[in-house]
Amino acid sequence: MKLKSMAAIATTAIVSVSLTSCGDAGGEGEGGGEIAIITVDPANPYWAAEVSRAEELAEELGYEYSVGAHENDPDEQTRLMETAINNDVDGILLDPAGADESIAIVEQAVDADIPVSLVNAEISETGLAEAQFISDNAQGAAAGAEVWAEAMGYEGTYVELIGEPSDNNAPVRSEGYESVLSQYPDMEKVGEEIANWDRQEGQTAMEQLLSRNPDIDGVISGNDEMALGAVNALDEAGRLDEVEVLGFDGSNDAAEAVADGKLVASVLQPIDEATTQSLEVLDEVIRTGESSVEEEKVALDCILITEENAEDLQDFVLED
Amino acid sequence: MSAAVSGSPATGQPTHHEATGSDGVVLRAVDISKTYGATRALKGVNFDVSAGKVTVLFGENGAGKSTLMKILSGVEQPTAGYLELDGERVEFSSTTDAVDKGIAIIHQELNLNANLKVSDNIFLGREIASVRGIHYAEQALATRDLMKRLEEPISPDAFVRDLRVGQQQIVEIARALSTDARILIMDEPTSALSSAEVQVLFKIIRELQRQGVAIVYISHHLEEALEIADHAVVFRDGELVATERASAIDLGWVVRTMVGREADYDFREEAREHGDVVLSIQDVTVADTVSGKFPVDHVSLDVKEGEIVCLFGLMGAGRTELMEALSGRDELAGGRVLLTDHDLAGLNVADRIDLGMGLVPEDRQRDGIIQMQSVGKNMSLASLSSWVRRGFMAVRGENRDIKSQMTRLGVKAEGPEAPITALSGGNAQKVVIGKMLAAQPRVLLLDDPTRGVDVGAKGEIFSLLFSRAGEGLAVLFVTSDVGEALNASHRIVVMDRGQVVTEFDPRHATREEVMAAAEGSGGQPAASTTAEEEGGPR
Amino acid sequence: MSAAATQEKSSGSKINLGAFFIEARALVALAIIIVIFASMSDTYLSVGNLVTVAKDVAFNAIIALGMLMVILHSGIDLSVGSTVGLTGAVAGTLFQGLHLPLTDAVMYPSIWVIVVIAVAVGMLVGWVNGLLIARLNLAPFIVTLGMLYVGRGLTQVLLDGTNITNELRGQEELGNTGFFEVFASSPLGVPISAWVMVAVAIAFSIILTRTPFGRWLYAIGSNERAAALSGVPVNQVKTRVYVLTGLCAGIVGMLQIANIRSSTADLGEFYELNAIAAVVIGGAALSGGRGTVRGTIIGAFVIGFLTNGLVIVGVSPFWQTVITGAVIILAVAVDQIQQILQRRQAQARAVAEARRESGKVPVGPGGHEGPPPEQT
């Protein structure tokens, strides 16, 4: 019960933030110029949403823009950043590949007097980027785990599907789940498998886990794709009705599964919001030379997607 | 068990063993055998090398000389037998191992790194170096000294790729000299040298000889080799057949011993009723795009139904190039080839086999057999379509046909399922010939069909060809064995330097005439029947 | 001499026995894996788990059978994984409907049309690979590596950052329903992918053993020059082999999007590597000319039973990866040992023959009587 109210508060908080920032747009100074949008992997719907929001807003603000994707490879990120620096763009919107790995290249851009604003993920140094708008994955995982535990009745056995271990989000989400679930002594984790964020791998892993533990009561997954693979496997085994599955990301497929009752919940990272705010800060710096944001690092709360709001979710944007 | 090589009983010379037993045999090969797959390159060879002596090895291609040299220098390891160095049993795991023990080799093929400098090549693997790195200056100095000795002004800093072939050969020799070897093996060192360079090399050999270096020398230049030899050793079919002191022999002895007995087959008196011309080669030229030369230079030749024509020539006469062009693998630079009245221009190997002309290639291992497959599958490869029923292979019928074919060809194998690599050279060759015969050819081309084939099997192969010729098959085969040319053909066509120089009727020709024609030594063959009727020297 | 002969014989049979074990090593490995895991877990050999294994093995095995064909000619196809993704994306796009140019009409093909077009796209990818490799004589590794990127990129272009999920179900009024009912079915309780694997295995087995094409393929892989001189249409065979690989990838593309009920951009990643591993464990030589359908299927089951068993007994996920890799390396090492043994065996046979033949000539041991040199 307390959880649900918490999610409600989070939702309202974000709405208000977004309202104020919208009010800021269109101040004094000169707009226009070129910005580089450097993201992770637009083939993935999540980052596709990030890119399409950034493109939309950049156009609205009157910028030319280019889009690059580094697929979480710091080398590739360096190449893309250097290209942008060499092209002397007016600003860079970066979804960084690694908190430590990205510091040097951001510094390089700043040294070249090109403002950088971060979105989605952080770097472990402050004072370089104009702003870092990230989603609080630990908070999101905890919120998700709370509703899922409630659906489980705070008891039973479960397994966990883990994302690509080299991706920081995999342990962060896993630990977020753990922080909540460790409070409930009657819930027992009986297995975990790595499924690399992939639906087919998640399905295969779930099939094998089901062979070993046919009587599990729940599944928590590091992302929606793996969760949906698990749903397929459970469906095939005829156990979907009895097993509670938790996803993360709030993809369209997941939203639908939540609406259909196949998933208990998913967790939406406010990527749309983060992109909007990060790009607006960048725009402000380009126009005025400085940003009005007080705190460089802003952790935006994740939004819980449950049966109640699942139908309003489309392409990682929650319609009001 | 004696390790001695028996001498020639006929001449009453002392055996090699007795002759050198006391005066420093440094390296001894004991009962060495070497097999490649089923090919037996060496069969129980015993061989001594003495300090301060030049031992010359004679033998035809594939007689086993080069294989033995590779074993002595550590390039390859023997399948059976062992080596003794200074009376102690040794094993060379690599060439560096052999060099460390004082054995160096100058290879028949140039083994230089074209993109390195001369001095780097000479000291490759034995760089003069300390912890501070390679001392290039010292290497260059040493190289310059070597070149002075060889009377060749090659700069240590020149890149090998920029040198003439002859100069590259000098670098090879310099590399061998730089190791201060006690035993120096020279495999065809003079093939690319001018006569002046050869004389310098011989001077160095004599000098080394005086220093007590043992030299093993291989050359196809028989006279040149005899000039430098102390001992002569003759190889034939992988066996060491004779050892003599150079002072006791002459060129004639070498040739006779190399070629061996008269072939125990003789088809000269076979009936010859030839039909119409089946294969007509008209003014054919083949170009070597790399060197820009013409290995086959305006050759014209007809082969009639039921006729066996021998294309006789030495290595490099252009015979293999002609055969490969006929088979459809290489393109003609000029002229045309007619199979009956069908112009073969633009047709590939498969088309030509379908039309009735196939090639039994020269290099059986590389081009003839499918190593990983059975005897039966090798044999049926060129004619699979004849066993296809409604799209699928009638495997049982294929097996039955192959079995009877194996019996007819006299292939000695456990059955069609036996691996081809288990067969001896002769039997494998019968399989390759059988493969082409199964495709029902009208013309069969064979490039050196008895290469690496045991003496007994040679006769069987020719007997097979003559019986098929009796049924109308036209045969064109290449050889450099005079005995084969004389005893196993209806007509001998001699090729030299890319051109047909003359023709012989084997019933009236002698060995010497044929050899002389092939060597281009000018002496017009007395029994020449149709010389220079077509495509003669120009 | 008779003593020597028996000695030869006995040592020969010992080598044969050793060679037999290595030949059957994949089967032995499979048996060992099954015994070990079955003893550690009761559920390992349960019907449910076996069905799970069969389904997963089937996807890999179908790809591996295609891979076997290219490996037999001593080639490689790194693009199969991307082709799986691409054919899945093509099918997904067709389920969304085709906008007919110059009109507002949208065409919804029936599922069989969709499947045929998607699989044909897979074969087209293979055909392009084959043409480049056979006609232009390019290295298979490079061509298919390039195609790996091209295929993955095209998949991303088609999917444009979204998964295609709901459309796969089809709609009654559009007449494109029934995809899952066929491609995700389990006739007689066995997953459809396993049935398809059996069908492909039988078909490829017939192709390899009962048609000239199969004979040619083995011949090219063992000795391309000799095969060409025997009139084998080398280029044609090579091209078709890649088409077959593309066909297999296309089939798996269809089965897999039905299995996960969605067409995703990452589908099929690393399939090529699992397939190569299965082929090699199954006894095929990467140098070509050696390998069988049976071995490849066994190889796929070795990988399938191994990875499944590691999950079932609860080995840590990180160690699972390590162990799987080690087993693949072990398989390749044994492959090399097998070749060395075979070579020795052939040499021993040749030497034995040499002894036997030279034994006929009545000379003393070790002595080699040359024929008299003088003759005229």
Interchain pair B44, C368: CB under 8 A: yes
**CA nearest neighbour of B150 among B176, B125, B131, B124:** B176
User: Which of A226, A253, A268 is at the close of a domain?
Assistant: A268
Dihedrals φ, ψ of C366, to 5°? 80, -25
A216 in contact with chain C, both atoms CB, cutoff 8 A: no
- The highest-confidence range among A71-85, C201-215, C329-343, by mean pLDDT, is C201-215
Residue C118 lies in a domain: yes
Interchain pair C223, B9: CB under 8 A: no
CA-nearest residue of chain C to A204?
A: C56
Q: How far is B248 from chain C (nearest CA, A)?
A: 13
Read off the pTM.
0.76
Report DSSP state, residue C162. Answer: S
Q: How far is B6 from chain C (nearest CA, A)?
A: 7
Domain that holds residue C156: 10-350
The 3-state DSSP class for residue A66 equals strand
Are chains A and C in touch, 3+ Cβ pairs below 8 Å? Answer: yes
Dihedrals φ, ψ of B92, to 5°? -100, 115
Residue A241 lies in a domain: yes
- Residue B119 tokens read as 């001095």
Select the residue of C46, C161, C311 nearest A209 (Cβ to Cβ): C311
Instruction: Kindly tell me if the per-residue pLDDT of C370 is higher than 70.
Output: no
Are chains B and A in touch, 3+ Cβ pairs below 8 Å? Answer: no
- Chain C residue numbers touching A208 (CB-CB < 8 A): 49, 52, 307-308, 311-312
- Chain C residue numbers touching A205 (CB-CB < 8 A): 311
CA-nearest residue of chain C to A194?
A: C317
Q: Rounded CA gap, B466 and B490, in Å?
A: 10
Interchain pair C223, B45: CB under 8 A: no
- Write the pLDDT tens digit of every residue in A205-227: 999 999 989 999 999 999 999 99
- Chain B residue numbers touching C228 (CB-CB < 8 A): 329, 349
Interface partners of chain A (CB pairs < 8 Å, 3 or more) are C
Residue A311 lies in a domain: no
> What kind and span of H or E run contains B36?
strand B25-36
Which residues of C fall below an 8 Å CB-CB distance to B?
Answer: 206, 209-212, 215-216, 218-219, 221-223, 225-233, 289-290, 346-347, 349-351, 353-354, 358, 365-376
Return the exposure string of B195-217: e unless at least 16 CB atoms fall within 10 Å of the residue's CB, then b.
eebbebbeebbeebbeeebbbbb
Residue C76 lies in a domain: yes
Q: Rounded CA gap, C287 and B414, in Å?
A: 27
Mean pLDDT of chain A: 86
**Taking the domains of chain B in order of start, what are their residue ranges?**
1-102+181-260, 115-180, 307-316+349-519
Interchain pair A208, C44: CB under 8 A: no
Residue type, A271: I
- Residue A284 tokens read as 């402000």
Interchain pair C225, B366: CB under 8 A: yes
Q: Rounded CA gap, B234 and B342, in Å?
A: 47
- Residue A186 tokens read as 């009657």
Return the residue in C260, C270, C307 with the most chain A beta carbons within 10 A, the one to mutate for interface testing.
Answer: C260
**Chain A, chain C: beta-carbon pairs less than 8 Å apart:** 91
Residue A162 sits in a domain of what CATH number?
Answer: 3.40.50.2300
Q: Rounded CA gap, A213 and A167, in Å?
A: 28
CA-nearest residue of chain C to A207?
A: C52
Are chains C and B in touch, 3+ Cβ pairs below 8 Å? Answer: yes
Q: How far is C237 from chain B (nearest CA, A)?
A: 13
Are both B1-102+181-260 and B307-316+349-519 of the same fold? yes
- The highest-confidence range among A101-105, A150-154, B61-65, C351-355, by mean pLDDT, is A150-154
Interchain pair B1, C366: CB under 8 A: yes
Check residue C69 and give its pLDDT: 96
- Chain A residue numbers touching C264 (CB-CB < 8 A): 198-200, 225
Q: Rounded CA gap, C282 and C277, in Å?
A: 8
Check residue B218 and give its pLDDT: 87
Check residue B261 and give its pLDDT: 58
Residue C160 sits in a domain of what CATH number?
Answer: 1.10.3470
Q: Domain B307-316+349-519 is classified in which CATH homologous superfamily?
A: P-loop containing nucleotide triphosphate hydrolases (3.40.50.300)
Neighbouring residues of A183: CB distance < 8 A, sequence distance ≥ 6: none
The count of other CB atoms within 10 Å of the CB of residue A288 is: 13
Does residue A275 share a domain with residue A239? no
Q: Rounded CA gap, B484 and A294, in Å?
A: 101
**Chain B, chain C: beta-carbon pairs less than 8 Å apart:** 160
Beta strand residue intervals within B110-260, DSSP E: 129-130, 133-134, 183-187, 214-218, 231-236, 239-245
**CA nearest neighbour of B369 among B304, B404, B321, B413:** B413
DSSP H helical segments within B306-359, as ranges? 319-327, 349-355
Q: Biggest alpha carbon distance in chain B?
A: 79
Q: How far is A224 from chain C (nearest CA, A)?
A: 12
Residue A21 lies in a domain: yes
Give the total number of structural domains in chain A. Answer: 2
- What is the mean pLDDT of the segment spanning A178-184? 94
Does residue A262 share a domain with residue A195? yes
The strand pair at B54-58 and B214-218 is best described as parallel
Note whether ipTM > 0.85 here: no
Distances (CA, A) of A217 to A176, A213, A234, B479, C101: 20, 10, 11, 83, 51
The 3-state DSSP class for residue B422 equals helix
Interface partners of chain B (CB pairs < 8 Å, 3 or more) are C
Interchain pair A210, C52: CB under 8 A: yes
The 3-state DSSP class for residue C206 equals helix
- Chain C residue numbers touching B382 (CB-CB < 8 A): 230-231
Return the residue in A51, A67, A212 with the most chain C beta carbons within 10 A, the one to mutate for interface testing.
Answer: A212
Does residue A8 share a domain with residue A116? yes
Residue A305 lies in a domain: no
C4 falls in which pLDDT band (50, 70, 90)?
very low
Residue C374 lies in a domain: no
Check residue A290 and give its pLDDT: 82
What is chain B's pLDDT, residue by residue, as a tens digit (538 residues)? 344 444 333 333 333 443 344 457 889 989 998 887 666 788 889 988 999 999 999 887 667 887 888 888 888 888 888 899 888 888 888 888 888 888 888 876 677 888 888 999 888 878 888 888 888 888 899 999 988 888 888 888 988 888 877 788 788 888 888 888 889 998 888 766 777 778 888 888 898 888 888 999 987 677 788 888 999 999 887 888 888 888 888 877 887 787 665 556 778 776 677 889 999 999 999 987 766 678 898 999 999 999 999 999 876 778 888 999 999 988 888 899 999 888 998 899 999 999 999 999 988 888 999 988 999 999 999 999 889 988 898 888 999 999 999 998 888 888 888 888 878 778 889 999 999 999 999 999 999 898 777 767 888 899 999 999 999 999 999 987 788 888 889 999 999 888 999 999 988 888 888 888 887 654 343 333 333 333 333 3
- Residue A95 tokens read as 């979804």
Check residue A259 and give its pLDDT: 94
- Chain C residue numbers touching B80 (CB-CB < 8 A): 351
Distances (CA, A) of A175 to A132, B69, B141, B369, C314: 22, 70, 70, 64, 20
CA-nearest residue of chain A to C167?
A: A253
Does residue A226 share a domain with residue A211? yes
- What is the mean pLDDT of the segment spanning A14-35? 49
DSSP string, A257-309: HHHTTSSSBEEE--HHHHHHHHHHHHHHHHHHSS---S-SEEEEPPEEE-TTT
CATH number for domain B1-102+181-260, candidates 1.10.3720.10, 3.40.50.300, 3.10.129.10, 3.30.420.40:
3.40.50.300
**CA nearest neighbour of C216 among C76, C73, C71:** C73
Does residue A235 share a domain with residue A152? yes
The count of other CB atoms within 10 Å of the CB of residue B147 is: 20
Q: Is C231 in contact with B353 (CB distance < 8 Å)? A: yes
DSSP H helical segments within B381-509, as ranges? 395-409, 425-438, 455-470, 482-487
Return the residue in B5, B349, B395 with the most chain C beta carbons within 10 A, the one to mutate for interface testing.
Answer: B349
- Chain C residue numbers touching B239 (CB-CB < 8 A): 368, 370
Q: Is B472 in contact with B440 (CB distance < 8 Å)? A: no
User: Which of A268, A283, A314 is at the close of a domain?
Assistant: A268
Q: Rounded CA gap, B401 and C219, in Å?
A: 20
Give the total number of structural domains in chain C. Answer: 1
Instruction: Kindly tell me if the per-residue pLDDT of A146 is higher than 90.
Output: yes
Does residue A69 share a domain with residue A41? yes
Domain that holds residue A56: 2-135+271-300
The strand pair at A91-94 and A34-39 is best described as parallel
Interchain pair C259, A232: CB under 8 A: yes
- Write the pLDDT tens digit of every residue in C106-148: 888 888 999 999 999 999 999 999 999 999 999 999 999 999 9
